[in-house]
Amino acid sequence: MKTILTVTLNPTVDKSTSIDKLVPEKKLRCEQPKFEPGGGGVNVSRGLSRLGLNSRAFFPSGGRTGRLLQELLEKERISAVPIEVKGETRENFIVVETGTNQQFRFGMPGSGISIEEQDAIMKALLELSPFPDFVIVSGSLPPGIDPSFLGQMVRQLKVKGARIVADTSGEALERMVEEGVFLLKPNLGELAKLVGKESLDNDSADEAAQELIQQGKTELIVVSLGPQGAYLVTKDITEHVPAPTVKKLSTVGAGDSMVAGMVSVLARDGSYSEMVRMGVACGSAATMNSGTQLFKKEDAYRLFEFLSRNSQSF
């Protein structure tokens, strides 16, 4: 079994609640809030745990919210590797309007990370033992960290033999791809930007993905198509996996759940076709739950079996 590390440079505690209706300038009575650990890589570690795989969650942690984040991960039996910083770990706030099932998501930027703290983060990362086989770098960057930091991180992680999974956006994603990663999970818009196009559709995505593969920027690309599923592209394989039809309650954490599903198969040496089906299954299963609950294991495996049985007919 391969060892897995998730890296979340801008972790969060997700605070969620519900109300009957969101009305301006009125005191609104909310349900008791729920607190959950969050941020891209943290959620991937939580998803992997649901699938029976251990991983280490590496993240900067500061203040009261940082301590709460560590406590929440401990309750979920996630192995945490917090790196202490001065700034307060951020909170996100999610409100569900029960009358319409509309979801309102308020994302905070996080505290700044100093150059000295960045150096400490990089040092701690590279000194991990045992060193991970897979490193998933996921989520946004906090204030103070330049996207070039991720390029430097990828470069040094690869020297130590890690396979990098990239799931971020904007210039941060571009810097990671410049250094070359193992697995890339963009949406169509992100993929278009990486190849210098204004836009792509489903038909042109294959050509764009192959361009990055031929340039040595990545070995695998899984293009996230939202409700249309995902498109797997390697040097030798192209495969579309449509998303199963489910009752959607929330899209929070669906992308992170998809990454967790894919990495769970890679860590067990499964095929790339199994990898993308499990990714779509976990991402779809996450949308079946409200708030920030990610997916239920039984839903993910049921959808994976459905996709596997019907793969020949798609």
Task: Provide the annotated active-site residues.
Answer: 256
Residue type at position 306: F
Coil/strand/helix, residue 59: strand
CA distances (Å), origin 264, targets 55, 202, 234, 307: 10, 26, 19, 17
Burial class of 106 by CB neighbour count within 10 A (0 to 12, 13 to 18, 19+)? exposed
**E strand map for the chain:** 4-7, 12-19, 34-38, 56-61, 79-84, 90-97, 102-106, 134-138, 163-167, 181-184, 218-224, 230-233, 238-241
- The total number of residues written for the chain in this structure: 314
Alpha-carbon distance 295 to 208, whole Å?
Answer: 31
CA distances (Å), origin 112, targets 42, 141, 143: 19, 10, 4
The pair phi, psi for residue 239, each rounded to 5°, is -150, 130
The number of beta carbons lying within 10 Å of the beta carbon of residue 65 is 22
Q: Which of 203, 179, 102, 265 is nearest to 191 (CA)?
A: 203
Alpha-carbon distance 76 to 66, whole Å?
Answer: 16
- Pairing relationship of beta strands 90-97 and 56-61 according to DSSP bridges: unpaired
The pair phi, psi for residue 36, each rounded to 5°, is -140, 145
